[in-house]
Amino acid sequence: MPERNYGRKYMRIKPESPIFADIAIVCIGERKVITGTARVRLTDISPGGLRFVSPLSLPVDDRVLIELKFIVLDHTFKLKGHIIHKTGIEVNEYEYGFSFTQADDELKACLKKLFNNMFVRLNKHIVFLKFSS
């Protein structure tokens, strides 16, 4: 069996409490469109993209530009990108991989702070044992 490399450009963070986003399709090809928004739940996030869960069946098509609006650490982000993969996880529930069209430095800073906070909390529960030689 060939060895697989699961290396990623950015580390993903799974939120400790649910983060919800409003999603809307803003362009199809060169044509701007006006659609309503739907609420989705983010399952993980990185500076380069995120995963979300929704009952909506959305297309995996790089001509479809989607905008997500969400809040992390009291900062509101409105980022555009494309769905890069879709998996059916339950009846009428799909998980999507979403790639941002542009990296956002403010999001990167917020995620770094969030990661540091999570790491500090985890370290409080780690016990280091000293073994004598």
Q: What's the pLDDT tens digit per position in 96-115? A: 999 998 876 777 777 777 76
Determine the pLDDT at residue 13.
77
Split at pLDDT 50, 70, 90, the class of 119 is low
DSSP the chain: --------SS--B--SS-EEEEEEEEEETTEE-----EEEEEEEEETTEEEEEESS-----TTEEEEEEEEETTEEEEEEEEEEEEEEEETTEEEEEEEESS--HHHHHHHHHHHHHHHHHHHTT--------
Determine the pLDDT at residue 91.
86
What domains can you pick out in the chain, each with its CATH number? 19-123 (2.40.10.220)
In this predicted model, which residue has the larger pLDDT, 47 or 80?
80
Q: What's the pLDDT tens digit per position in 16-39? A: 788 999 999 999 999 999 999 999
pTM for this predicted structure: 0.75
In this predicted model, which residue has the larger pLDDT, 32 or 127?
32
